[in-house]
Structure 1
């Protein structure tokens, strides 16, 4: 009788193992990018004051979609912040091509109910008056309305999140395209330090300092966009280093602690990690900058004249048509 019970128990354990293995295999299959990204959300921001961003699932061809990366200056303990950097990334998992386009923070945009202002102010004023998520929603809508690019996923981090992410991959080798003097450092001990041109190994704190600087740069905001691009490439290279590939699922699972806001699930991030693990950011990530004319114009939110960038619409439309649709 005892042997019979053990036999039944053994069969039961075997069944559990088989079911678990099947579930894992199924989950892994579902996480494969060609399966996971058959449909993606489309972020639609409503114009009504009390509603949040809604999402509708949309079928996609060849596993292509658009992500909006938002870098906020929100500090620890705060619930509001300015959109300090905005980067649209067009992901083509079929061709393994990635196109990134920076939207300058001083770009002149229209905010419903307020008028014309800088892009960087949209998130701040909406968060201050309506709530944290409403600010993110408004920033997404402003970028999508400006460029005509539908946004499927969004990921927002702040400088503390960027620092933590960089440290999580063990620091990065970053190509610094020009000398960077830290005139507006986050940490007092780094004030007026110079990060020299060339490939530098930087920890999270110094990456944060470098991508924050713009006042000392010859090209101002456009120079900072170059630095942000090089930081992203450095982080991608570090995360995809063969020595770190085995840790990629673990890294992806810890990413939520670096995020301020996102509509990506852990499964989305894991699948995207599987998709890019054999990619070469130096050759497969193409970076584009928008050009425009800087003007002193009236800001309907701040109620004064300030510097704003009027984007060259013809150039932007051409760029979007070629690489973001």
Structure 2
């Protein structure tokens, strides 16, 4: 059960790449040291993928909205793992709004590069980041500009590095030896992981778990943007350098932090509604055409 539960929580850090040290570039006094260390860390995180369209303009006067795919994976020696968390976010510099949603891991869809349909989280296991990205783009009928892949072994450390997260729990529950009362509370890394994992005791199932996960992500974004301690920043950089891969360059991160940072103050989210179905003895989440069109429309509207 522990192994299963561990795989349930693969959700982390919207804009982790955007906040990778970039926030500190605006903190006076640390200057050159932080700049160089951040640049080195980001260079270590680089992992290119083939894109079918040019990246959007994130500097100058003609700023464009952009989209990000966040993959939460549990890679271990001899096991590529699966992307059990897939979050898509779009950021619009004109409206200063961020829109995000999760793609349920059991969603049945066409796997790009394969001749059949399967669970969407299997795309990463079959073909790594490239196949996962291509499959998500096909599912959403929308290009994805950036991706950020996080090894979830680092989740607890990241939460602790930003000083914990603040959540507002809608219903009391206990999980993995932790007790979560109703209402506002602050969680450390271990507690945040448990808070985000629980699913079976939630009346809303995956939807309830996704709500709690987005609370944690939103708090990480907010706390990360307020990091002012050079010690904390060093810890964050060390954790990210070992556990994050992205196609977002250092210069793009700087431009995004400078030109898009206000979007973190207006985050809107929604959820895919699906129905469970057994096919060939395997459980799948079925998203009907109307629901997929609804999400696609909201995403495209924020991307203009």
For the criterion TM > 0.5, the same-fold answer is: yes
Q: Is residue 2:183 matched to residue 1:204?
A: no
Unaligned runs of 5+ in 1: 1-23, 32-42, 44-51, 127-133, 183-189, 299-303
- RCO higher in 1 or 2 (8 Å CA, sep ≥ 6)? 2
Q: 1:297 aligns with which of 271, 275, 279?
A: 279
* Kept in 2: contact 1:165–1:258 (CA 8 A): no
**1:166 matched residue in structure 2:** 159
* Kept in 2: contact 1:67–1:151 (CA 8 A): yes
Q: Using a 3 Å threshold, how does the CA distance of structure 1 residues 268 and 175 change in structure 2: closer, same or farther?
A: farther
User: What do you get for the CA RMSD once the two structures are aligned?
Assistant: 3.0
After the TM superposition, which residues 162-201 of structure 1 pair with which residues of structure 2 at under 5 Å, given as runs?
162-182=155-175, 190-191=176-177, 193-201=178-186
After the TM superposition, which residues 45-56 of structure 1 pair with which residues of structure 2 at under 5 Å, given as runs?
53-55=49-51
For 1:278-311, what per-residue CA distance to the aligned partner results, in whole angstroms no more than 9, with x for missing partners? Answer: x374x5111121222222224xxxxx43232324
For 1:41-66, what per-residue CA distance to the aligned partner results, in whole angstroms no more than 9, with x for missing partners? Answer: xx9xxxxxxxx831353453523110
**DSSP 3-state at the match of 2:80:** coil
What TM-score, normalized by structure 1, do the two folds share? 0.68
For 1:55-93, what per-residue CA distance to the aligned partner results, in whole angstroms no more than 9, with x for missing partners? Answer: 353453523110111112335x45411211111110123
**2:287 matched residue in structure 1:** 310
Q: Is residue 2:271 matched to residue 1:323?
A: no
Q: Using a 3 Å threshold, how does the CA distance of structure 1 residues 113 and 223 change in structure 2: closer, same or farther?
A: same
Q: 1:230 aligns with which of 197, 203, 215?
A: 215
For 1:194-245, what per-residue CA distance to the aligned partner results, in whole angstroms no more than 9, with x for missing partners? Answer: 322322211112212222222222111111111111011111121123xx24
Unaligned runs of 5+ in 2: 1-31, 40-46
**DSSP 3-state at the match of 2:186:** strand
**1:268 matched residue in structure 2:** 252
What TM-score, normalized by structure 2, do the two folds share? 0.72
The alpha carbon displacement at 1:313 in A equals 2.5
* Kept in 2: contact 1:65–1:152 (CA 8 A): yes
**DSSP 3-state at the match of 1:316:** helix
State the alpha-carbon separation in 2 of the partners of residues 54 and 198 from structure 1: 44
For 1:236-257, what per-residue CA distance to the aligned partner results, in whole angstroms no more than 9, with x for missing partners? Answer: 121123xx24759757744632
State the alpha-carbon separation in 1 of the partners of residues 65 and 263 from structure 2: 18
After the TM superposition, which residues 108-147 of structure 1 pair with which residues of structure 2 at under 5 Å, given as runs?
108-111=108-111, 112-124=113-125, 126=126, 134-147=127-140
* Kept in 1: contact 2:164–2:189 (CA 8 A): yes
State the alpha-carbon separation in 1 of the partners of residues 224 and 86 from structure 2: 22
The alpha carbon displacement at 1:144 in A equals 0.8
Greater strand fraction, Structure 1 or Structure 2: 1
The alpha carbon displacement at 1:149 in A equals 1.9
**DSSP 3-state at the match of 1:54:** coil
**DSSP 3-state at the match of 1:57:** coil
Q: Using a 3 Å threshold, how does the CA distance of structure 1 residues 158 and 219 change in structure 2: closer, same or farther?
A: farther
For 1:85-122, what per-residue CA distance to the aligned partner results, in whole angstroms no more than 9, with x for missing partners? Answer: 11111012343211112111111111132411111222
**1:101 matched residue in structure 2:** 101
State the alpha-carbon separation in 2 of the partners of residues 78 and 165 from structure 1: 25
Larger radius of gyration: 1
Q: Using a 3 Å threshold, how does the CA distance of structure 1 residues 197 and 84 change in structure 2: closer, same or farther?
A: farther
Count of residues paired in the alignment: 253
After the TM superposition, which residues 276-287 of structure 1 pair with which residues of structure 2 at under 5 Å, given as runs?
279=262, 281=264, 283-287=265-269
